[in-house]
């Protein structure tokens, strides 16, 4: 039984049903029934048109369910409208499903869960495991999300940037248990890039590939964090990097810059340096300037201050940092790093300790505590 | 089997014997400490006595209801004097003696100079459901 095939078909089957007028929640139930049926029947022989088969079975299930509980007149209307069963259209209309799952009426957490369920075809259990919550909790979250979008019609094009944000959230969740959410996000973004021609979709895909390429080098065997400058670059996945850079270059050539392309450009400059010292920091700063212009985000300006510190020296970095609100996440950690490079080790050690206290991530907290310890040990010894 | 909660405190517990703040350790000492904690959890998984463990951030706030139509009161994220819990581990063991033994072992995690910290850990049994069958 080809589980990957079923997973790749289920979103477009779902889209067909919703297009034909089924409510999202009812359509989803019907598709699940059809998948279960496929698992039962297909081992004896996969149908020639698997998608058409699934659409037909799911639509019948939907009608059965509707007949069972809907008012008589609505039921008859639907039966009248029933399309002739047969091969489904070859056009991949998964795109609308992406927009639906990223609908602005959903919270980011719900949008992520629904996307993984409906577009990714993951089971509720798999999503729950990835988020370390009980399956019942995740089931509730997903059905609430389905209810929220059940009245939404498919006739208006959504906002691509919302879809991309949701996919980026999935990517940033990383992985745990059996589901690798970063890899899943890449798969979905690749799929999206296949159905929509948009430079920012390519930009996000490139960004994910370039980040993902560094994954093996990002943590030491004991689980501790390895900063970019200290990573063993031979562990970087050169194939993913090449892939990412090519996608990015094609996107940039279209001259419709967006924040994901700019972020990917920064990642590409890091990927391009064989050693940390060879990083083209001047160009990195230029891309952060672009990003700041595109987003106005204070986090971008914080990253820019780090890049300025590398390009023009720690004093320049600290000057850039002084323009920012010191309540920003990681502000203290950046200040500690720049003060260390400037030679003020006592101040740097104090700031690293303070940053460790504020950290919300275990690996990051331990890393910052180690930095403080390293400087304190050095000063005592 | 009975479940116990082992609580590790940032502050608020009686002072440890080897009481040196972590940012005064060497990076190697920190790594050795983390390794000890992870090995301990892995060993309890092996013996079937581990339930869960979680580290908590150092900063938090007290929150209190302040009456109808008013926002809850917080004291802000100021945590200088409070009893701060650093994290917990839940174990499921055969006896109170075993729970004490394991807590003692965890308290011996190495700190500055690679010497055991002898920190105080709080050990609390879980309240359970009444048994279905009473003989």
Nearest to A369 among B23, B35, B57 (CB): B23
Q: How far apart are CA A320 and CA A311, in angstroms?
A: 12
Per residue in B7-32, pLDDT (tens digit) is 999 888 889 999 998 889 998 999 99
**Higher confidence at residue A202 or residue A90?**
A202
Q: How far apart are CA A170 and CA A216, in angstroms?
A: 19
Which residues on chain B are in Cβ contact (under 8 Å) with A359?
57
Find residues 263-292 of chain A whose CB sits inside 8 Å of chain B.
Answer: none
Task: Give pLDDT, residue B81.
Answer: 57
Substitution target from B10, B27, B31 for chain A, most A beta carbons within 10 A: B27
Q: How far apart are CA A256 and CA A198, in angstroms?
A: 9
**Quick check: B130 pLDDT over 80?**
no
Per residue in A137-174, pLDDT (tens digit) is 999 999 999 988 887 776 666 788 989 999 999 998 87
Q: Using the CB atoms, write b or e for A215-229: b if 16+ within 10 Å.
A: bebeeeeeebbbeee
What is the residue-averaged pLDDT of chain B? Answer: 88
Cβ atoms of A165 and A258 closer than 8 Å: no
Residue in chain B closest to A368 (alpha carbons) equals B23
Which residues on chain B are in Cβ contact (under 8 Å) with A374?
26-27
Per residue in A309-359, pLDDT (tens digit) is 999 999 999 999 999 999 898 999 999 999 999 999 999 999 999 999 888
- Decide if B57 and A349 are in contact by the 8 Å CB cutoff: no
**Quick check: A91 pLDDT over 50?**
no
Task: Give pLDDT, residue A379.
Answer: 64
**Quick check: A90 pLDDT over 70?**
no
**Quick check: A42 pLDDT over 80?**
yes
Which residues on chain B are in Cβ contact (under 8 Å) with A372?
23
Which residues on chain B are in Cβ contact (under 8 Å) with A377?
24-27
Task: Give pLDDT, residue A155.
Answer: 61
**Higher confidence at residue A7 or residue B126?**
B126
Which residues on chain B are in Cβ contact (under 8 Å) with A366?
30, 34
**Higher confidence at residue A61 or residue B79?**
A61
Q: How far is B57 from chain A (nearest CA, A)?
A: 6
Which residues on chain B are in Cβ contact (under 8 Å) with A373?
22-27, 29-30
A345 touches chain B (CB under 8 A): no
Cβ atoms of A332 and A348 closer than 8 Å: no
- Decide if B59 and A352 are in contact by the 8 Å CB cutoff: no
Task: Give pLDDT, residue A89.
Answer: 46
- Decide if B23 and A357 are in contact by the 8 Å CB cutoff: no
Task: Give pLDDT, residue B59.
Answer: 78
**Quick check: A81 pLDDT over 60?**
no
Torsion of CA A352, A358, A360, A364, to 10 degrees: 0
pTM for this structure?
0.82
A356 touches chain B (CB under 8 A): yes
Range ranked top by mean pLDDT from A94-103, A173-182, A251-260, B25-34: A251-260
Nearest to B27 among A356, A359, A373 (CB): A373
Task: Give pLDDT, residue A87.
Answer: 47
Per residue in A205-252, pLDDT (tens digit) is 999 999 999 999 999 988 888 999 999 999 999 999 999 999 999 999
- Decide if A369 and B58 are in contact by the 8 Å CB cutoff: no
User: What DSSP string runs through A110-133?
Assistant: HHHHHIIIIIT---HHHHHHHHTS
The mean per-residue pLDDT over the stretch A288-311 comes to: 96
Which residues on chain A are in Cβ contact (under 8 Å) with B86?
none
Nearest to B59 among A349, A358, A376 (CB): A358
By C-alpha distance, which of A164, A372, A147, A354 is closest to A258? Answer: A164
Q: How far apart are CA A337 and CA B111, in angstroms?
A: 25
Q: How far is B26 from chain A (nearest CA, A)?
A: 5
Per residue in B44-103, pLDDT (tens digit) is 999 999 999 988 888 777 788 888 888 888 776 665 556 788 999 999 999 999 999 999
């Amino acid at each position: 039984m080809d589980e990957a095939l079923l997973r790749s078909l289920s979103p477009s089957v779902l889209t067909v049903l919703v297009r034909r007028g089924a409510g999202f929640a009812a359509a989803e139930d019907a598709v699940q029934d059809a998948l279960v049926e496929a698992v039962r029947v297909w081992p004896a022989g996969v149908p020639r048109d698997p998608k058409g088969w699934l659409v037909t079975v799911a639509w019948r299930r939907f009608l059965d369910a509707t007949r069972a509980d809907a008012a008589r007149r609505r039921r008859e209307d639907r039966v009248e409208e029933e399309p002739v069963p047969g091969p489904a259209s070859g056009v991949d209309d998964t795109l609308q499903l992406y927009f639906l799952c990223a609908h602005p009426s959903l919270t980011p957490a719900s949008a992520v869960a629904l996307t993984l369920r409906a577009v990714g075809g993951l089971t509720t259990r798999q999503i729950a495991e990835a988020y370390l919550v009980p399956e019942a909790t995740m089931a509730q979250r997903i059905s609430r999300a389905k209810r929220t979008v059940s009245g939404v019609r498919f006739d208006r094009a959504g906002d691509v940037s919302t879809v991309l944000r949701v996919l980026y959230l999935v990517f940033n969740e990383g992985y745990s248990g059996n589901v690798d959410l970063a890899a899943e996000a890449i798969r979905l973004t690749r799929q999206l890039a296949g159905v929509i021609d948009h430079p920012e979709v390519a930009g996000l895909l490139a960004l994910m590939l370039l980040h993902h390429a560094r994954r093996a080098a990002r943590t030491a065997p004991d689980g501790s964090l390895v900063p970019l400058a200290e990573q063993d670059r031979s562990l970087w996945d050169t194939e993913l990097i090449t892939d990412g850079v090519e996608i990015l270059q094609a996107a940039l050539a279209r001259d419709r810059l967006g924040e994901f392309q700019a972020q990917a450009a920064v990642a590409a400059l890091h990927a391009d340096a064989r050693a940390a010292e060879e990083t083209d920091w001047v160009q990195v700063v230029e891309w952060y300037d672009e990003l700041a212009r595109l987003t106005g985000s204070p986090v971008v300006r914080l990253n820019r201050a780090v890049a300025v510190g590398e390009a023009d020296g720690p004093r320049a970095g600290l000057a850039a940092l002084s323009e920012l609100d010191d309540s920003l996440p990681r502000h203290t950690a950046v200040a500690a790093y720049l003060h260390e490079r400037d030679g003020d080790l006592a101040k740097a050690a104090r700031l690293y300790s303070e940053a460790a206290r504020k950290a919300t991530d275990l690996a990051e907290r331990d890393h910052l505590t180690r930095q403080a310890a390293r400087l304190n040990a050095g000063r005592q010894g | 089997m009975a479940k116990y909660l082992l609580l590790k405190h940032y502050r608020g517990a009686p002072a440890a014997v080897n009481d040196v703040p972590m940012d005064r350790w060497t990076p190697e000492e920190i790594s050795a400490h983390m390794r000890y904690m992870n090995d301990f959890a892995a060993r309890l998984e092996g013996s079937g006595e581990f339930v869960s463990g979680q580290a908590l951030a150092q900063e938090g706030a007290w929150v209190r209801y302040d009456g109808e139509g008013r926002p809850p009161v917080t004291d802000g994220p100021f945590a200088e004097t409070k009893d701060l819990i650093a994290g917990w581990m839940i174990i499921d063991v055969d006896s109170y003696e075993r729970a004490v033994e394991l807590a003692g072992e965890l308290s011996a995690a190495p700190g500055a100079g690679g010497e055991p910290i002898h920190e105080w850990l709080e050990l609390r049994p879980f309240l359970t459901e009444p048994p279905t069958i009473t003989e």
